[in-house]
Amino acid sequence: MINLQKLNQDLVEIVEKRIQLADLKYDDSRYDEIEEQLHSLEDDFLKKYDDYLEDILLDIHDEYCPETEVLSPIAYLAKNYIHKDHKSYDTHEDQGVWVEIEEIPEKEAHLVLLPNPLRIVLTSGSFRKPVWKAEEK
């Protein structure tokens, strides 16, 4: 059984590291160290949650974008996150994994994994739809 609170907490650590890294220039002396910490967090995250998240992503792809291949859960993370407030995170609509949506094939759409609350959101332009939200059973 997956501890969803721990999954969310581990995802927040990755998001915070990505935010920290995005704020640095490549020539900053801390850049390589923070990038290495980020990769370590991502590796640990995959070891713990890859199978669980892959099953969820398979279901989402089957329902919303069956023509698009399911990728590693890390691919569904945004490159850049936005702090909505001190605890919540969001991202721009072009973040995460590009997917082909049958109902709107001419529109670009993305699936992105977000923490606080832990969820996967389908975005296309200004359209945003949570397609999965973590719920303790």
Query: What are the domain boundaries of the chain?
Result: 4-133
Task: State the Cα–Cα distance between residues 34 and 32, nearest whole angstrom.
Answer: 6
Predicted confidence at residue 1, as pLDDT, reads: 84
- Compute the average pLDDT of residues 43-62: 97
- Compute the average pLDDT of residues 22-41: 95
Task: State the Cα–Cα distance between residues 11 and 44, nearest whole angstrom.
Answer: 11
Confidence class of residue 137 from pLDDT cuts 50, 70 and 90?
low
Predicted confidence at residue 136, as pLDDT, reads: 64
Confidence class of residue 96 from pLDDT cuts 50, 70 and 90?
very high
Report the run of H or E that residue 60 belongs to, with start and end.
helix 31-64
- Compute the average pLDDT of residues 72-94: 90
Predicted confidence at residue 84, as pLDDT, reads: 80
**C-alpha distances out from residue 108 to 34, 101, 122, 132, Å:** 32, 8, 11, 20
Predicted confidence at residue 78, as pLDDT, reads: 95
Is residue 57 within 8 Å of residue 73, measured between CB atoms?
yes
Task: State the Cα–Cα distance between residues 97 and 72, nearest whole angstrom.
Answer: 10
Mean of all residue pLDDT scores within the chain: 93
Predicted confidence at residue 48, as pLDDT, reads: 97
CB atoms under 10 Å from CB of 111, counted, come to: 26
- Compute the average pLDDT of residues 33-57: 97
pLDDT of 59 higher than 90: yes
Predicted confidence at residue 87, as pLDDT, reads: 84
